[in-house]
């Protein structure tokens, strides 16, 4: 079983410092099920490749009883794919061979630890339950380019069809630590093998190795379930930790401080304004990013103009409420086909939100702290790139009109910031400039001559319209 990691970072030989492996030596590491060999087929200033070759002892697997139990057919315990494919044994070998790099340390050149490098990875043979779609769901949100080659069951008998084994090639620019932690978790998730016992320590390893990216990965629940071999109670424990940091959307009525009817009225009005702007923009397909409990989605569903409506939120709980409120299991098939809800995070690139005419972010940006907001900008304006983007956010200047809000206090406990009109426009103008959009700002609600309206809204329209989109002009 072979894993190769190549970089063209300059000088490429930095990889040997990062991985703490001398480029001139072949090294061996024993681990529970065999031996891992580490060597470099190529080292130059331009390109450096390191190989991890696993030599798994099939007899040892049976003796140590961490191989297949042989339930499926009598000889499975002795005849199986484990020695020849990437599996959780590969993850054990990665930890054993590259533990320093995985812990984010580099003795000789510590500055390299935080440097994202262009990597190309090849895994010679990996079983993937669910095939290509699963590989995409796992790796694409982390920014990987994927090349998959599926192998037939037997090249001599093409009629036997395709096997579940692939050669997987990945490309990405990340730090070595990120790369290793992605491979460590996602290789066994692809494999989805249930052959060995999983305990509490596996749950801890998952949280530790995935701490920087798993909480916001759109497929975090799927990853957790598969990684923990479908043990629901352990998976629930992990999900609880993963969800702890997420914005906890309270009833959005609690968003503003005034009396309840007024709060509701204010939010309804905001959503109606956004719906009207989307109509005005001639959008036929709309994605509501951070859709929460689906209030805007409900308004959009009532309008025939919107042919395809997608709601996305990081919070599974909110999506469940949205599903109920929109009565998705009761509405007609025709209506049902117009709308979809997905769980995902605006801080990861996600192909599912690309290609829409318009995107709405209603009272969402203020729930992200600054490094995440920087990621969101890219995801929305660089990758998803809708023709129109509507963003609303509280106008901090208005806060002094709320009784019970002291100076500097925010409207909602989960808000990471609230901007004045000048701050919002500074942000919007920069985005427009950087991603080639035009932007205008509008108040939402009655405008106070001194402090403006309660809510502020930015309407972005791309300058790059493709010919097919000219109908929108």
Task: Note the residues at the interface with ligand SAH (CB under 6 A).
Answer: 247, 249, 252, 290-292, 295, 313-315, 318, 345-347, 362-364, 367-368
Residue 90 or residue 216: which is nearer to ligand SAH going by CB? Answer: 216
> Min. distance of Cβ 96 from ligand SAH in angstroms?
35
Residue 342 or residue 451: which is nearer to ligand SAH going by CB? Answer: 342
> Min. distance of Cβ 268 from ligand SAH in angstroms?
10
Q: Please, which residues have CB within 8 angstroms of residue 417's CB and are 6 or more apart in sequence?
A: 366, 369, 370, 410
CA 235 to chain centre: 18
> Min. distance of Cβ 142 from ligand SAH in angstroms?
15
Residue 176 or residue 314: which is nearer to ligand SAH going by CB? Answer: 314
Q: Which residue is nearest to ligand SAH (CB)?
A: 292
Q: Please, which residues have CB within 8 angstroms of residue 217's CB and are 6 or more apart in sequence?
A: 141, 142, 210, 223, 345, 348
Residue 251 or residue 438: which is nearer to ligand SAH going by CB? Answer: 251
Half-sphere exposure of 106 (CA within 13 A, CB side): 20
Half-sphere exposure of 64 (CA within 13 A, CB side): 15
- The answer to whether 286 touches 309, Cβ cutoff 8 Å, is yes
Placement of tokens 């503003």 in the chain: 256
- The answer to whether 278 touches 394, Cβ cutoff 8 Å, is no
CA 460 to CA 381: how far, in whole Å?
A: 10
> Min. distance of Cβ 149 from ligand SAH in angstroms?
34
Residues across the chain: 473
> Min. distance of Cβ 264 from ligand SAH in angstroms?
11
Residue 14 or residue 252: which is nearer to ligand SAH going by CB? Answer: 252
Residue 235 or residue 390: which is nearer to ligand SAH going by CB? Answer: 390
> Min. distance of Cβ 249 from ligand SAH in angstroms?
4
Residue 367 or residue 385: which is nearer to ligand SAH going by CB? Answer: 367
CA 211 to CA 140: how far, in whole Å?
A: 18
- The answer to whether 295 touches 252, Cβ cutoff 8 Å, is yes
DSSP 214: G
> Min. distance of Cβ 301 from ligand SAH in angstroms?
15
């Amino acid at each position: 079983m072979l894993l190769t990691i190549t970089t063209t970072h300059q000088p490429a030989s930095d990889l040997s410092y990062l991985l703490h492996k001398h480029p001139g030596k072949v090294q061996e590491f024993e681990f529970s099920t065999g031996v891992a060999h580490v060597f470099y087929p190529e080292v130059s200033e331009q390109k450096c490749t390191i190989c991890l070759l696993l030599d798994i002892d099939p007899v040892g697997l049976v003796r140590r009883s961490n191989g297949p139990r042989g339930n499926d057919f009598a000889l499975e315990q002795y005849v199986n794919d484990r020695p020849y494919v990437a599996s959780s044994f590969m993850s054990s070998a990665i930890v054993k061979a590259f533990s320093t790099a995985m812990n984010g340390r580099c003795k000789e050149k510590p500055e390299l630890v935080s440097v994202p490098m262009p990597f190309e990875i090849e895994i010679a043979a990996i079983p993937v339950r669910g095939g290509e779609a699963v590989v995409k769901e796992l790796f694409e949100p982390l920014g990987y380019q994927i090349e998959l080659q599926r192998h037939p069951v037997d090249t001599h008998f093409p009629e036997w069809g395709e096997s579940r084994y692939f050669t997987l090639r990945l490309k990405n620019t990340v730090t070595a630590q990120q790369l290793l932690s992605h491979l460590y978790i996602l290789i066994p998730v692809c494999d989805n093998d249930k052959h060995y016992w999983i305990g509490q320590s596996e749950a801890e390893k998952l949280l530790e190795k995935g701490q920087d990216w798993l909480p916001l990965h759109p497929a975090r629940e799927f990853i957790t379930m598969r990684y923990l071999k479908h043990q629901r109670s352990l998976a629930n424990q992990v999900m609880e930790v993963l969800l702890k940091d997420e914005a906890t959307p309270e009833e959005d009525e609690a968003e503003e401080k005034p009396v309840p009817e007024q709060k509701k009225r204010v939010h309804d009005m905001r959503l109606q304004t956004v719906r009207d702007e989307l109509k005005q923009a001639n959008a036929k397909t709309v994605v509501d990013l951070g859709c929460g409990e689906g209030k805007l989605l409900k308004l959009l569903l009532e309008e025939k103009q919107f042919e395809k409506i997608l709601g996305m939120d990081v919070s599974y709980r909110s999506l469940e409420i949205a599903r109920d409120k929109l009565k998705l299991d009761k509405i007609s098939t025709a209506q049902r086909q117009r709308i979809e809800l997905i769980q995902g995070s605006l801080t990861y690139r996600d192909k599912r939100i690309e290609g829409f005419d318009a995107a709405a972010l209603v009272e969402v940006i203020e729930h992200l702290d600054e490094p995440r907001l920087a990621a969101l900008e890219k995801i929305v304006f660089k990758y998803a790139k809708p023709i129109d983007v509507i963003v609303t956010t509280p106008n901090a200047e208005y806060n002094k009109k709320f009784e019970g809000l002291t100076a500097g206090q925010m409207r909602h406990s989960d808000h990471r910031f609230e901007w004045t009109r000048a701050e919002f426009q500074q942000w919007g103008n920069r985005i427009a400039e950087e991603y080639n959009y035009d932007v205008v700002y509008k108040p939402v609600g009655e405008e106070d001559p001194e402090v403006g309206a309660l809510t502020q809204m930015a309407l972005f329209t791309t300058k790059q319209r493709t010919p097919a989109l000219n109908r929108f002009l």
